[in-house]
Amino acid sequence: MMIDTTVDLGRGLVMKNPVMTASGTFGYGEEASAYFDLSQLGAVVAKGISLLPMEGNPPPRVVETPGGMLNSIGLQNVGVERFVSDKLPFLLESGAVVIANILGGSIGEYVQVAERLAGAGGVFALEVNISCPNVKEGGVQFGMLPELAAELVYAIRKATDLHLMVKLSPNSGDIPKMARTVRDAGADSISLINTITGMEIDIRSRRPVLGRVIGGLSGPAIRPIALRMVHEAAGAVDIPVVGIGGIGDTENALKFLIAGAGAVQIGTATFTDPLAPVRVIKGIRSFMEEQGLSSLEQVIGSLILDDCEK
């Protein structure tokens, strides 16, 4: 039996399978390429890119927690010009489908980054980060207010024909409303969730563990929350949803697909198992063979709710 794991998220973003990396956990792909061929992935979502280089937050910036980790990296990155000149060529040579995660402190900055990447060629899509909780200013303000999110997405949509994937914040409150808002403004897909804000304290020093006090919680601890929000978003909009949050194995990737996600991103899990994305790709195929399924469409959104109270 032929098995088709192809995913078409619209506006030219077609992937051989539904597994992507999550921005911020995979760098620009150089390190991971020592472990596997990046072209095996559905897509590589590069580390967030701003107009100018960013140094990030003061250390400590990462701390382990039960069931996950807190990070306060602060969107450290090389800036769009160095990404285009130094990082993008490697990704293109690898044969990967490249998605650039973009960020900014203003609508104008987002638009400039989007235009530069669109003009560089080779990028299949832009993931618009409106949800990072680890910076003093910038994208998160757009993720909390629907009217600002709409204005931002509309401006980027006017500036480029690239596929726009908008990354939503779990802290925005009404996920279905925000999903509909960015869809109406021109988003081709949405991805969720970004990290959930949290903190940790050293009881002996009585000081916060993170240099910036607050960080973003990721990993298995947030997975049920992410799954619920993906389910809500998928039911609210008619554009593809990409699931993120605590996905590190085949079973949990399948849960997100069944809940309505058209694709998934794997992030924190790659810190302990760099091969996790490849294992999940193989695992999805094995599941489909076992279930006698020929198309991924038979999995996506197949959640049965007949006897459930809503």
Question: Which residues are annotated as catalytic?
Answer: 132
The total number of residues shown for the chain amounts to 310
| Nearest in space to 190 (alpha carbons), one of 170, 164, 216 | 164
The residue assigned the tokens 């040579």 is: 93
- Token pair of 212 as six digits: 């910036």
Q: Which residues of 126-151 are buried (b: 16+ CB within 10 A; e: fewer)?
A: bbbbbbbbbbeebbbebbeebeebbe
